[in-house]
Amino acid sequence: MVNGYTILTHVVDNKDVEKPYQSWSSEEIKKGEYDSKAMNIIHSLLNFDEFFRVFVCTTTKKMWDLIQVTHEGTPKVRRAQKNSLIQEYETFRMKQGKTIWDV
């Protein structure tokens, strides 16, 4: 799911408040269960430091986005890294007297 799970809310006194579990439909319950299972799977795969970094996230999508930015950087950073690697590749030259096995 591209957008991820969203916490169910409804309007009370012109404010969005979390929808009580008792008023969820069966489809909403199923989606909530899927999100909880996914969060549990991700939690079980993380090391100690990463676990506490994402522990405060309320949905799997928020967890995944935080992990992705932590490990890959923002799109701007990824683009800069890609350009740097392309430039390094294009300027790669073998030194005089070296063989492919020496590189």
Tens-digit pLDDT profile for residues 11-35: 677 777 777 778 788 888 888 888 8
pTM score, whole prediction: 0.55
Residue 4 in any domain: the answer is no
Residue 103 in any domain: the answer is no
Tally the domains of the chain: 1
Residue 75 in any domain: the answer is yes
Give pLDDT < 50 ranges for the chain: 1
Residue 3 in any domain: the answer is no
β-partners of residue 55 are: none
For residue 79, give Cα distances in angstroms to 7, 65, 72, 91.
32, 17, 10, 18
d(CA 60, CA 11): 24
Q: Domain range holding 29? A: 9-90
How does 74-99 read in b/e, with b if 16+ C-beta sit within 10 Å? eeeeeeeeeeeeeeeeeeeeeeeeee
Residue 85 in any domain: the answer is yes
